[in-house]
Amino acid sequence: MSAGTVRIALVGNPNCGKTALFNQLTGGRQKVANYAGVTVERKEGRFTAPSGRVLQILDLPGTYSFDATSPDEQITRDVLEGNYPGEAAPDLIVCVADATNLRLHLRFVLEVKRLGRPVVLALNMMDAARRRGVVIDVPELSRRLGMPVVETVAVKRDGVKALIARVDGEIPDAAPARPDDAASRADLHAQVRELLAATVTMPRATAELDDALDHWALHPVFGLAILSVVMFLVFQAVYAAGKPMTDLIGDGFGWLGEHATAWMPAGPLQSLIVDGVFGGLGTVIGFLPEILVLFFFILVLEESGYLPRAAFLLDRMMVSVGLTGRSFIPLLSSFACAIPGIMGTRSITDPRDRLATILVAPLMTCSARLPVYALLIGAFIPTRKVLGIFNMQGLVLFALYAAGIVGAMVVAWVMKKLRRDRSEHALLMELPSYRLPKPRDVAIGLWERGMIFLKRLTGIILGLTILMWFLSSFPAPPAGATGPAIDYSAAGYIGRGLQVIFAPLGFNWQISVSLIPAFAARETAVAALATVYAVGGEGAGLQQALAANFSLASALSLLVWFAFAPQCMSTLAVIRRETNSWRNVGISFGYMFVVAYVASFLTYQITSLLT
Ligand SMILES: Nc1nc2c(ncn2[C@@H]2O[C@H](COP(=O)(O)OP(=O)(O)OP(=O)(O)O)[C@@H](O)[C@H]2O)c(=O)[nH]1
Ligand SMILES: [Mg+2]
């Protein structure tokens, strides 16, 4: 075999560990999680094998079979058959199978073999298989399949040695291509049974612990109770663990700001550094702990195998409002950010269910909203204990998340009523084994999330904050002006102009103007408010400034606005890309604006009457 790049594609059923293998081979950091349908795009990476050859590895979405029906499965099929635009078929296919579940996975191996291309079979999750007492006669399996078979453990550092050695060697001969028709497909079942009988010894009782856990987790009553308790505790924890660290970071930046004031000559540069960068960015960065605590729980849940169970529990309810159990995981990902959530809908087969999920995904509370919520809650909601144990601020936060979820259900239900075809499909979804998350993986996941947040902060949010500072500082007031300088600035003018629209919701001009940068990145609302109040001479801590200038009614109204408002720009762009339609962007923006406006209006007016 001559030196040069060898192109290798990783394929297999969903959740068998393809991405874990890909990361192990290439040193990549693609998302791995314990449910089907994590990877929805074709991802590429490369590494240099011991022989010096460059191996180019393709990670593909999981596929149950080649009668591909969902958009992500279609990608896999196109790549393997060489029909993917601009890409020749791979030189070698590495077919990955979950060794604990060969009954299911071997079927796809046989389908891949029929393509008539060189294939290596990787029996992954061998650690779990051994633990369960599954014994596989590898040489015999290899002989019967007519392809090399290697054992792998994708989550161990040296668990892929055998695979590297194999793909670095001669490319194996391909089996002859076979037609893919109904008769031969029925034949596959018989072949799988035969292979299993000849090569695999299963323990008599499998996965007793899983069954015992499922007895409770999937119980129609206890299951839902467990789910609610889990969700509720997550939000209490976000508050209890995040808040003290946030305060500490806030104090740190306050201290830095004071020192900068002392060292730098007064003037625009000092104001930019103190009010814009330390005041604005410092306030946003303070919310990193809350975000990390939230992600800690999301990562643990994703790796535990619990999420598809929750999807099952909620399927009935979701179907009744016009979604499906399949919408659950994309909607849950939207708590991080609507963008991966919307992309995750690619694993939803039915286009109508998919669109409904895409349109409601932005109502889930993304992590960019967390700083805004935390800031306003900190300023306006007392730190009382409710019923002795629950933290009042945590309860309000939970209520805001719940508002997003309930809002999404209502919107989906209305969409269901508006369409003619109301047929429903049963949910077919694989339940993965329960798995204890590895601290190292969770740590890497948190690190990645933290970096995403910091990159946003030093990129788009920094840019917008400087812009806000500029708008708040210039033009300078005319000679002899009496009011605060900021009233004469561009921000003052724009804010007062916008206030015409937002006054009925109880927003003052400072808030109105902060809504503009928030449209690009929501956290910027916090930085923008910090900058506007600091430049306006009220820099004694943003929370005090808010409490002094703002009524409870306005604060609640603003919280509700952020729960429902159409934001951000990138989300709208992804809706455009994923649905290929400007009309859906219009619908999404339009309905969210109306819902947010009406809900905030009612919140403000009713709270004003009551307080
Ligand atoms: N114990 C064990 N767990 C593994 C192994 N390989 C992967 N996993 C776990 O299996 C789950 C699925 O891994 P992924 O790499 O996301 O699977 P995938 O095949 O890429 O899944 P899709 O992208 O949904 O098709 C994760 O929870 C991994 O941590 C292994 O060899 N042993
Ligand atoms: Mg994957």
- Asked whether this complex has an ipTM greater than 0.90, the answer is yes
Instruction: Quote the pLDDT of residue 205.
Output: 61
Mutate to test the pocket of ligand 1, among 10, 18, 95, 444 (most ligand atoms within 8 A of CB): 18
Supply the CATH number for residue 29's domain. 3.40.50.300
Closest CA to 172 of 198, 204, 135, 146: 146
Cα distance between the two ends of the chain: 80
- Tell me, using a 6 A CB cutoff, whether residue 301 lines ligand 1: no
- Is 438 within a domain? no
- Is 386 within a domain? yes
Query: Positive or negative CA dihedral for 159, 162, 167, 173?
Result: negative
- Tell me, using a 6 A CB cutoff, whether residue 97 lines ligand 1: no
Instruction: Please tell me whether residues 168 and 260 are part of one structural domain.
Output: no
Of all protein residues, whose CA lies closest to atom 27 belonging to ligand 1?
34
- Angle of CA points 265, 268, 270, to nearest 5°: 45
Q: Which long-range contacts (CB under 8 A, 24 or more apart) does 571-575 make?
A: 571/338, 571/339, 571/342, 571/362, 574/338, 574/339, 574/342, 574/343, 575/342, 575/358, 575/359
Instruction: Please tell me whether residues 410 and 473 are part of one structural domain.
Output: no
CA torsion 293-295-297-302 (nearest 10°) is -170
Instruction: Please tell me whether residues 331 and 479 are part of one structural domain.
Output: no
- Is 603 within a domain? yes
Of all protein residues, whose CA lies closest to atom 3 belonging to ligand 1?
125
Instruction: Quote the pLDDT of residue 358.
Output: 95
- Is 210 within a domain? no
Digit-coded pLDDT (tens) for 537-557 = 655 577 788 888 888 899 999
- Is 441 within a domain? no
Instruction: Please tell me whether residues 293 and 369 are part of one structural domain.
Output: yes
Q: Enumerate the H helices of 419-536 as residue ranges.
A: 439-456, 462-473, 490-502, 509-520, 524-535
- Of the three residues 147, 168, 201, the one that is the final residue of a domain is 201
Q: Which ligand has the shortest distance to the CA of 21?
A: 1
- Tell me, using a 6 A CB cutoff, whether residue 43 lines ligand 1: no
> Is the bond preceding 475 in cis, omega lying within 30 degrees of 0?
yes
Residue 214 one-letter amino acid: D
Instruction: Quote the pLDDT of residue 589.
Output: 94
Q: How many domains does the chain have?
A: 3
Q: What's the CA gap between 609 and 416, in Å, rounded?
A: 35
What's the distance, CA 136 to chain centroid?
37
Strand 135-136 with 43-48, pairing? unpaired
- Is 600 within a domain? yes
Q: Which ligand has the shortest distance to the CA of 11?
A: 1
- Going from the Cα of 105 to the center of ligand 2, the distance in angstroms, rounded, reads 15
Instruction: Please tell me whether residues 182 and 237 are part of one structural domain.
Output: no
Of all protein residues, whose CA lies closest to atom 30 belonging to ligand 1?
125
Query: Positive or negative CA dihedral for 370, 371, 372, 375?
Result: positive
Q: Other C-beta atoms within 10 Å of 611: how many? A: 9
- Is residue 366 within 8 Å of 336, Cβ to Cβ? yes
Instruction: Please tell me whether residues 305 and 373 are part of one structural domain.
Output: yes
- Rounded alpha-carbon distances, angstroms, from residue 243 to 96, 370, 577: 44, 12, 37
- Angle of CA points 94, 95, 98, to nearest 5°: 130
- Is 384 within a domain? yes
- Tell me, using a 6 A CB cutoff, whether residue 75 lines ligand 1: no
Instruction: Please tell me whether residues 179 and 300 are part of one structural domain.
Output: no
Query: Which residues pair with residue 121 across a beta bridge?
Result: 95, 149
E strand or H helix at 9: strand 6-12
- Is residue 145 within 8 Å of 121, Cβ to Cβ? yes
Q: Other C-beta atoms within 10 Å of 519: how many? A: 16
* Residue 386 domain boundaries: 222-418
- Is 206 within a domain? no
> Is the bond preceding 568 in cis, omega lying within 30 degrees of 0?
yes
Instruction: Report the predicted TM-score, pTM, of the whole model to 2 decimal places.
Output: 0.80
Instruction: Please tell me whether residues 527 and 599 are part of one structural domain.
Output: yes
Instruction: Quote the pLDDT of residue 335.
Output: 84
Q: What's the CA gap between 41 and 22, in Å, rounded?
A: 13
10-residue averages of pLDDT along the chain (611 residues): 76 93 90 83 88 91 78 79 84 94 91 90 94 92 94 90 89 76 74 91 74 87 89 78 78 82 80 77 80 87 89 86 86 85 84 92 89 85 76 84 91 87 70 88 88 85 84 81 78 89 91 86 84 69 80 91 87 90 94 95 93 78
Instruction: Please tell me whether residues 387 and 338 are part of one structural domain.
Output: yes
